[in-house]
Amino acid sequence: MSLVNKLAPKFTAGAVINGEEIVDDFSLDQYIGKNEVIFFFYPKDFTFVCPTEILAFQEKLAEFEKRGVKVVGCSTDTEESHFAWLNTPKNQGGIQGVTYPIVADVSKTIATNFGVLDGEYDYDEQGNLVFEGAGIAYRGTFLIDKEGIVRHEYINFFPLGRNIEDTLRIVDAWQYHEKHGEVCPANWKEGEDAMTASFDGVKEYLSTH
């Protein structure tokens, strides 16, 4: 089930902030009323595609911050694993230098509530609780507005790295809509024409593009 236009699931969990401090009570509630949030999931620490995405978000962090948007990552690894990876140099497969928060979803409840966990619990024929699936998060990305409502989501399977530039484009489109009330057509980028949400607006836009 999509979370779009619904309140983002709430949580309090351990996290590493500023790449160097472990906290046990991190929550997205701290941003309500102040910031939009890009909240993204990745499968595992110390893997392959994941560091390319995490570092790509860091490379664009100033662009997100310029727009008043907070970036927060999350996986089902422990905060100690996050801490170790954050303190491993890039040339050794680490993500040293990343400063935005990385949440530890050890219980897998955050990934489950956001609909990105691969697998689920069930019972076998003997009544034993079993888990079927990988038990880690897909590459989910969520834009959460200042009121805590999800305005955009997309979810990739494990091998498919996401496009951080397009995540910025989505932020720009949402903020443009919020400011001007217009809607953003296919492939819209900041600085391009948008259109009014009406048949006349569509006709005018299509006649000039």
Residues designated catalytic: 50
104 Cβ contact partners less than 8 Å away, ≥ 6 residues apart: 13, 14, 15, 16, 74, 75, 76, 77, 78, 79, 81, 82
Coil, helix or strand for 82?
helix
Residues 156 and 139 sit within 8 Å (Cβ to Cβ): yes
Radius of gyration for the alpha carbons in the chain, expressed in angstroms and rounded: 19
Q: Which amino acid is at 190?
A: E
User: Hunting for tokens 């500023």 — which residue is that?
Assistant: 18
Max Cα distance, the chain (Å): 67
φ and ψ at 40, to 5 degrees?
-125, 145
Task: Quickly count: other Cβ atoms within 10 Å of residue 124's Cβ.
Answer: 9
